[in-house]
Copies of this chain bind each other. A is one copy, B any other.
Amino acid sequence: MSMSNIATYPSSQVEAIHGNFQGKDIVSLDQFTVGDLYMVFNLALKMRELVLTSEPSQILAGKVISLLFFEPSSRTFGSFASAVKRLGGQTLDIQNPEMVTSVHKGETFEDTIRVFEAYSDAIVLRHPRSGAARAAAEAARFVPVINAGDGTNEHPTQTLLDLCTLYERFGRLDHLTGLLVGDALNSRTMHSLMRGLSLFEHNRLYILAPDQLRLARDDFVACRSRGIELIEIASEREIPTNCDFWYWTRIQQERFSSPEEYQKLAAGKFVATPELLARYAKKDMILMDPLPRVGTIDPMVDQDERAVYLRSQIRNGLYTRMALLALIMGRA
């Protein structure tokens, strides 16, 4: 497909995709079939070309998308805003929770959603409360709602960009071996990635976490029952050298019973360094981090070609969001 085709956008393939997504809410990763995911990622990679050529797009021309952020999130906000604008659409920015003034006057969440529904063609919602995205999708009857993170519940486009980064690199999402490091007990991004990879066959994940933050037994069992091969390891020395990717998440001090505990058990201990890569990482693997990176990856690693966190991984956030928006509400 040539670039001009993407920019002008009508194509038989895209129309076919529209059949699945047009006008749909995006609340949870569970909505996506394997086929859906490959569709999104293939379109995302086309969006990459669109951005690189810097050709103005008309895919969302005339569309106004509300970015309704009840809690601030500069990266997610920036990524969605950029996605809308790169497709030729416009945003209605409510970045600051205090701006949603009617809420302060006692308006219900549902009323607020229905007001912004009247002003825009879609609502991208960020909210600190679990389940807010589902409630918004039910309140909004005429426009789609996209979940940009609702508390500890879900942040589906974060998982999509992680999967897209693996797909971009390996051309598949099955038969992958990965290492997940960090707070296996609490990390939403880690749990979601495991869930996403469980849709595909023959994936094997090694989990490295502080002893206090090991994967909960229920999560372990649930993940295995969905077909992921899970192996917990106890130290860096057990990292296998055949991993296709490392996925590194930050460990928050608040998770420990005391600062001393944190200092003793975790601080500076779960860090990806050049030495670690030299010893355990193969040449064609990739090193990922959902960002912000706080004590997870030594900046000395940034120059390594395998370090994709500040390159394709963050960019794929933009491309997958562009793809989703185009599928949900792009002009045919």
Residues of A within 8 A of B (CB): 54-58, 61-64, 66, 72-75, 77-79, 81-82, 85-86, 88, 90, 92-96, 98-103, 105-108, 110-112, 114-116, 118-121, 291-295, 299, 310-311, 314-315, 317-318
Contacts and interface: CB of A to CB of B under 8 A. Distances in A.
A310 to B, nearest CB: 5
Contacts of A101: 72-75
A56 B60 CA distance: 9
A106 B62 contact: no
A311 to B, nearest CB: 8
B94 A74 contact: yes
Contacts of A78: 66, 92, 94, 115-116, 119
A82 B106 CA distance: 24
Most chain-B Cβ atoms within 10 A of its Cβ — which of A86, A98, A102, A114? A102
Contacts of A317: 118
Given A85-B64, A294-B106, A99 B115 contact: no
A107 B75 CA distance: 12
A82 B314 contact: no
A294 to B, nearest CB: 4
A269 B327 CA distance: 48
Contacts of A62: 54-57, 86, 88
Nearest to A61: B56
Contacts of A120: 82
A6 to B, nearest CB: 13
B95 A75 contact: no
A94 to B, nearest CB: 6
